[in-house]
Structure 1
Amino acid sequence: MNTTNKNPYIRWFEDLNSNDVAIVGGKNASLGEMISTLKDQSIRVPDGFATTADAYWQFLQANHLKEKIQSHLEELKSGKTPLDKVGKSIRRLFLSADFPEEITAAIQDAYQKLSQNYDTPEVDVAVRSSATAEDLPEASFAGQQETFLNITGEAELLDACRKCYASLFTDRAISYRQAKNFDHTKVALSVGVQKMVRSDQGSAGVMFSLDTETGFPDVVLIDAAWGLGENVVQGSVTPDEYRVFKPLLKKDDYKPVIEKTLGDKQKKLIYAKGGSHSTKNVNTSAQERQSFVLTDDEILQLARWASIIEAHYQKPMDMEWAKDGETSELFIVQARPETVQSQKQADALKTYSLKQKGEKIITGVSIGEAIAAGKVCLIESADDINHFQDGAILVTQMTDPDWVPIMKRAAGIITDHGGRTCHAAIVSRELGIPAIVGTDKGTEVLHDEQEITISCAEGDQGYVYKNILEFESAQVNLEDTPEIKTQVMMNIASPAAALRWWRLPCDGIGLARMEFIINNSIKIHPMALVHFDQLKDKATRKQIQNLTQGYPDKTEYFVDHLTRGIAKIAASQYPQPVIVRMSDFKTNEYANLIGGKQFEPTESNPMLGFRGASRYYSDRYRAGFALECQAMKRAREQIGMTNIIMMIPFCRTLQEADKVLEVMAENGLKRGENALQVYVMAEIPANVELAAEFSQRFDGFSIGSNDLTQLALGVDRDSSELADLFDERNEAVKRMIRRLIETAHESDRKVGICGQAPSDYPDFAAFLVEAGIDSISLNPDSVIPVIHRIAEVEAKL
């Protein structure tokens, strides 16, 4: 199709580029940029055209609107007329105006050509608003103007264009421009007319080229739901959520999908036939709710496109995608700069933590990393937003741009529906206030005036607590961090926490606790999945059935969740080493997992009982350890996290070490193959006494100073009566550590420490440096102060 057109009112997308924002706005200029420059890289963008800013100004002039609009805005500025009445009056002016003949003809002609291009008499199109000051680096106009879907025929198209013009003066658009000091009279509106992707029969969603909560730059975040994408954007459904690790996308041997979370997706937006609306929501089927929207290959294709688009624009991007249900093809339908994380100060990190424990009421997807407390203000309809009280926590089903004026005055936000890319999430990030979206039942459980605390500082999940709890915030300054020789690593429990701390100047992760993923994400005892058909308790069977929906093989649920949890932690520091400790529950802790009581013995002293290495070759747990090995193998060899180092805890004897290594090899994890390193925890005096022999079996040691101190001094670390005696700085403990380091180094083996002591005691960290330790693994909040302490010690050596 020859679209070359000198008509001042119409520009085809393929003739536009990112320099044309003044002519067609940011949204349409970006579509043109992708169509004209990225087709060679196989990125599909639906064809279309845009009306120009000239068309908008001509529309105003022909209908004598400029002076009338200015008059209404003056009434607002003087306080004579409130915002809602001013906005309504201005919009009425647009809706009752007519397009000049030459603009009508230009739109009709372009629509006919687009229809011919798709070999149909009247092509169905999406009609989108694109303000000419839109998507500037310092502000996002996303969601400020209207979009109309499934528009067919010239009459419907002209009506939708008129409505787009009117949406330049919605209440939220007016107030947003006022807040950002944009002159209303200098912002024009372009209308984008784009071939609809039949995602009403497929799926759609939103995609970011970085992690929206932490700013971690090496992931693509994708939200996905069935049907047209407006439900995801508006937050009226809780979508699937996927994260992909970008640095491994170019390696064909790997599939670096590091997170897949199933959303409830309770409804989908589809085409409507007849009536006044072009789309309608219908309930999804049980199968749709229990199935992932995208396959791994589709997730990876979208992530590759996101990486290409980000590289082209040389900045983090916020994109919308759609999958055509008729052709199964994926498309990018919008791309704009990300405007929150990319604007944050890179050398500062603010952290929040609760100082009190509280009773959890509900949970959802956490947005931001802050904590807020206050009284609930429950509002079910936008008609009632005037009842909102400043400083309260807004609780509602979902938000749209009409809610922005009160969202600015809220201490926090809680919604029933929505995912990480919905309207409530985007606005709360821009405003810097915490939000918990997709709680499912927030409006049912919470009530007006109820005192609550919302915490988004505990990872991907946000928690609502009863009552107002004490919390604190701290600013971590990353500037002027000294260079040191000793490796400083982090102790990390949860995958979400790993991404949260990516900015810290670390050399990797010295301890990633597998049991945290099992306890918080999987929740089921592995042997209860291996022997599901033999479970005796009916309630337990039902609970496991519910959790493992979508997994015909129950053990696959365990392996899949553990694989991605481990991979997400490893991604946060890739390619730096990440040491993952195999499960180290005690029998009483294993028994508390779902289905665990049937498979665990009762011990009088679980701390010194059936734990660590002894479990891995035992018939009682061997099949469970095989699942752990499968997860580790997948994370390394399928996802591609070859920076993972395995670590064996509580290995009492050399014979036990041999047995564990043999079982690992049987499960495809042979030390030395595929660059696999295996470390051992040094937490038993025997590990120190036989360090030379253990060095022949393992690639390194990680000192567990808590257990080593307990066993060296014969003190129960949990005994309040003996608390004064439990001290890692005791000379006996220090001599053992020094000897271990010396012996290991003689065998060219590395030694690190992952215990609590160096985080708590600066003098103990200094001792470790003087003893020649290779690495110190710390709690994240201790990293910066301990680095400064190490620098002082190293300067004296």
Structure 2
Amino acid sequence: KNLVPKGVNIPSGFIVTASAYRYFLKATKLDIFIKDALAGLNTANLKDLSRRGKIVREAIVKQELPADLKEQIRLAYAEMEKRYGADIDTAVRSSATAEDLPGASFAGEHDTYLGIRGAENVILAVKSAMASLFTDRAISYRVDKGFDHFQVALSVGIERMVRSDKGCSGVMFTLDTESGFKDTVIINGSWGLGEMIVQGEVTPDEFIVAKKTLRTASNPIIFKKLGGKMKKMIYGAGGQKKVKPTKVVATSAKERDSFVLTDAEIKTLAEWGVKIEEHYTARNKKWTPMDTEWAKDGLTGELFIVQARPETIHAERDFSKIREYVLKEQGKLIVKGASVGSKIAVGQARVILSAKNIGQFKKGEVLVTDMTDPDWEPIMKIASAIVTDKGGRTSHAAIVSRELGIPAIVGSESATRKIKTGQMITVDTSGAEGLVFDGGLKFEVIEHNIKTIPRPKTKIMMNIATPDTAFEKSFLPNSGVGLAREEFIIASSIGIHPLALINYKKMSAGLKKKI
């Protein structure tokens, strides 16, 4: 309604409103049942939290929707069938009324169901989405944030399914997710359905687009990085009759070695991201950076925005105060990955490979795991740092770590193999690349209040040594960039000495292999 006239592609569909959710609970007396089931709950008792959460979720899914509500869903689905054909595939997406309010992020907390076909299966998926309002993490998170369980409701969007299982999908932020720099659009993408990126199951491709040159330059893309993309989620064979008709398969060598988007598609998505940000900024009467999900239909080649919500971390941040973390010792490097949080933490490692074993975790330890999802949240909030094998800067582990204010390193590939439980480690995310060192190294925290720093009449220009730090350093008082060191740009972005490239054909096979 608001974005399609602006040229943004949005899948068509219908909404089961938050009012319908409240009607369902009240008409069936589930509201009374849920209040009784959660009465006196101590969320620190993980076993009791898990037991009660399961009771509530099962009760919601087993309960029939009121007849009039079911009929409205059937009629709306029938309208979609008239437009797109019988048994149209749909995506069933949840959206809580308190979801992604400033200061809160329910990243990956409420469930999405993809490839749902048939009115009765849509009804079941709607109930399952409503039940996800009471996952263990959702219950715990609302208690931590001071939300009453019944002040939060859930709407469910039923969209025409974008066949990204045969194409690609991903997420897009209209700011730099680490520094909060406003003038970029960050796009992550991987093959297949988008759940793999959000869950941190894959290391995606990453693209950065400069907003200021988006509408003027022929190529506003300032950064492209090929992700591992080792697997993808697609439709399961004949599985459309189930609520979760998907399966995970390995990607081909060609897919792993190829970017998921062309430059033209990257530019189109970035333009849409800016339009969405402008729309919500005007509506909210304040700068509102956006966190969106996109998908490319592999059958038609069309791009779509399938979800949009306000970014919750940097939108409310006071950019006049800067806290700088500086490592004072050198140590033995164990692993490295994508940096989240711009901090340093020291603690004993706890390697946990399954959420079933989170009861072993102790407050202040460093969580080392393959990846995280909402089931891990109860221990994420008491960790001093988090290190994962998989995922990118827009994965569940990264988003929740930012919101909790703890450093995280994602996509290390080998942390669970190289780090041992009980090992004292230092997690350094103060730079663009996250580093894990053996032992507890000394570090310093320096606080700067930019408002109190006097500005001279002379223009103070910055020397940029490492391009990766430019966004973060932009918040320091400056009048622009006076010098960008070319040799550092070559070292960080190309990684090969110019003379080696010039004389590449003359080099020995051994030297070429080293390069």
Which letter maps to 2:477? Answer: P
- Which of 416, 423, 430 is the equivalent residue of 1:443? 416
1:515 aligns with 2:479: no
Once structures 1 and 2 are overlaid, which stretch shifts more, 393-402 or 60-69?
60-69
- Name 2:363's counterpart in structure 1: 390
Task: Write the distance in 1 (CA, Å) between the matches of 2:369 and 2:444.
Answer: 27
- Name 1:71's counterpart in structure 2: 36
The residue correspondences of 1:115-514 to structure 2 (distance < 5 A) are 115-118=81-84, 120-251=85-216, 253-274=217-238, 276=242, 277-314=244-281, 315-459=288-432, 461-514=433-486
Task: Write the distance in 2 (CA, Å) between the matches of 1:342 and 1:58.
Answer: 34
Q: Deviations over 1:608-659 (max 9, x none)?
A: xxxxxxxxxxxxxxxxxxxxxxxxxxxxxxxxxxxxxxxxxxxxxxxxxxxx
Q: Is the 8 A contact 2:24 2:66 kept in 1?
A: yes
Task: Write the distance in 2 (CA, Å) between the matches of 1:78 and 1:87.
Answer: 10
- Name 2:284's counterpart in structure 1: none
Say which SS state the counterpart of residue 37 (structure 1) adopts.
Answer: coil
Task: Write the distance in 2 (CA, Å) between the matches of 1:410 and 1:474.
Answer: 23
- Name 2:8's counterpart in structure 1: 43
Task: Write the distance in 2 (CA, Å) between the matches of 1:75 and 1:86.
Answer: 11
Q: Is the 8 A contact 2:42 2:49 kept in 1?
A: no
Say which SS state the counterpart of residue 203 (structure 2) adopts.
Answer: coil
Say which SS state the counterpart of residue 487 (structure 1) adopts.
Answer: coil
Task: Write the distance in 1 (CA, Å) between the matches of 2:44 and 2:295.
Answer: 44
Q: Deviations over 1:46-76 (max 9, x none)?
A: 0111112232222223322111111111141
Task: Write the distance in 1 (CA, Å) between the matches of 2:325 and 2:407.
Answer: 11
Which letter maps to 2:161? Answer: M
- Name 1:705's counterpart in structure 2: none
Structure 1 length as normaliser, TM-score? 0.62
Between Structure 1 and Structure 2, which shows a larger proportion of helix residues?
Answer: 1
Structure 2 length as normaliser, TM-score? 0.95
Which letter maps to 1:531? Answer: N
Task: Write the distance in 1 (CA, Å) between the matches of 2:455 and 2:430.
Answer: 29
1:539 aligns with 2:510: yes
- Name 2:62's counterpart in structure 1: 96
Deviation at 1:137, TM superposition (A): 2.3
Say which SS state the counterpart of residue 155 (structure 1) adopts.
Answer: helix
Deviation at 1:291, TM superposition (A): 1.0
Deviation at 1:208, TM superposition (A): 0.4
Q: Deviations over 1:460-513 (max 9, x none)?
A: x11111111100111111114434221212222111211111111211223322
The residue correspondences of 1:666-745 to structure 2 (distance < 5 A) are none
Q: Is the 8 A contact 2:43 2:140 kept in 1?
A: no
Deviation at 1:527, TM superposition (A): 2.9
Which letter maps to 1:294? Answer: L
Say which SS state the counterpart of residue 94 (structure 1) adopts.
Answer: helix
The residue correspondences of 1:553-568 to structure 2 (distance < 5 A) are none
Given the superposition, is the C-alpha separation of residues 78 and 470 from structure 1 closer, same or farther in structure 2, using an over 3 Å criterion? Answer: closer
Say which SS state the counterpart of residue 440 (structure 2) adopts.
Answer: coil
Say which SS state the counterpart of residue 437 (structure 2) adopts.
Answer: strand
Which letter maps to 2:261? Answer: L
Given the superposition, is the C-alpha separation of residues 533 and 131 from structure 1 closer, same or farther in structure 2, using an over 3 Å criterion? Answer: same
Task: Write the distance in 1 (CA, Å) between the matches of 2:488 and 2:358.
Answer: 41
CA RMSD, aligned part only? Answer: 1.6
Greater relative contact order (Cα 8 A, min sep 6): structure 1 or 2?
A: 2
Q: Deviations over 1:311-370 (max 9, x none)?
A: 111110100011111111111001100000112112101111100112211110001100
Which letter maps to 1:404? Answer: E
Task: Write the distance in 2 (CA, Å) between the matches of 1:517 and 1:487.
Answer: 24
Say which SS state the counterpart of residue 186 (structure 1) adopts.
Answer: coil
Task: Write the distance in 1 (CA, Å) between the matches of 2:40 and 2:78.
Answer: 42
Deviation at 1:392, TM superposition (A): 0.8
The residue correspondences of 1:519-598 to structure 2 (distance < 5 A) are 519-536=491-508, 538-543=509-514, 594=515
Task: Write the distance in 1 (CA, Å) between the matches of 2:53 and 2:463.
Answer: 54
Between Structure 1 and Structure 2, which shows a larger proportion of strand residues?
Answer: 2
Task: Write the distance in 1 (CA, Å) between the matches of 2:108 and 2:351.
Answer: 23
Q: Deviations over 1:752-789 (max 9, x none)?
A: xxxxxxxxxxxxxxxxxxxxxxxxxxxxxxxxxxxxxx
Deviation at 1:79, TM superposition (A): 9.0
Which letter maps to 2:437? Answer: Y
Tell me which stretches of 4 or more aligned residues in structure 1 moved more than 4 Å: 77-81
Which letter maps to 1:284? Answer: T
Task: Write the distance in 1 (CA, Å) between the matches of 2:43 and 2:112.
Answer: 31
Which letter maps to 2:86? Answer: P
Deviation at 1:88, TM superposition (A): 0.9
Once structures 1 and 2 are overlaid, which stretch shifts more, 416-425 or 137-146?
137-146
Deviation at 1:77, TM superposition (A): 5.1
- Name 1:562's counterpart in structure 2: none
Task: Write the distance in 2 (CA, Å) between the matches of 1:415 and 1:278.
Answer: 27
Say which SS state the counterpart of residue 98 (structure 2) adopts.
Answer: coil
Task: Write the distance in 2 (CA, Å) between the matches of 1:521 and 1:448.
Answer: 35
Q: Is the 8 A contact 2:351 2:420 kept in 1?
A: yes
Task: Write the distance in 1 (CA, Å) between the matches of 2:44 and 2:316.
Answer: 33
Q: Deviations over 1:733-765 (max 9, x none)?
A: xxxxxxxxxxxxxxxxxxxxxxxxxxxxxxxxx
- Name 2:72's counterpart in structure 1: 106
Given the superposition, is the C-alpha separation of residues 495 and 79 from structure 1 closer, same or farther in structure 2, using an over 3 Å criterion? Answer: closer
Deviation at 1:116, TM superposition (A): 1.5
Q: Deviations over 1:578-625 (max 9, x none)?
A: xxxxxxxxxxxxxxxx4xxxxxxxxxxxxxxxxxxxxxxxxxxxxxxx
Which letter maps to 2:238? Answer: G
Task: Write the distance in 2 (CA, Å) between the matches of 1:108 and 1:494.
Answer: 57
Deviation at 1:78, TM superposition (A): 10
Given the superposition, is the C-alpha separation of residues 106 and 454 from structure 1 closer, same or farther in structure 2, using an over 3 Å criterion? Answer: same
Which letter maps to 1:296? Answer: D
- Name 1:626's counterpart in structure 2: none
Given the superposition, is the C-alpha separation of residues 528 and 338 from structure 1 closer, same or farther in structure 2, using an over 3 Å criterion? Answer: same
Task: Write the distance in 2 (CA, Å) between the matches of 1:439 and 1:138.
Answer: 28
The structure number with the bigger radius of gyration is: 1
Which letter maps to 1:419? Answer: G
The residue correspondences of 1:10-21 to structure 2 (distance < 5 A) are none
- Name 1:60's counterpart in structure 2: 25
Q: Deviations over 1:532-555 (max 9, x none)?
A: 33221x233234xxxxxxxxxxxx
Q: How many residues align?
A: 505
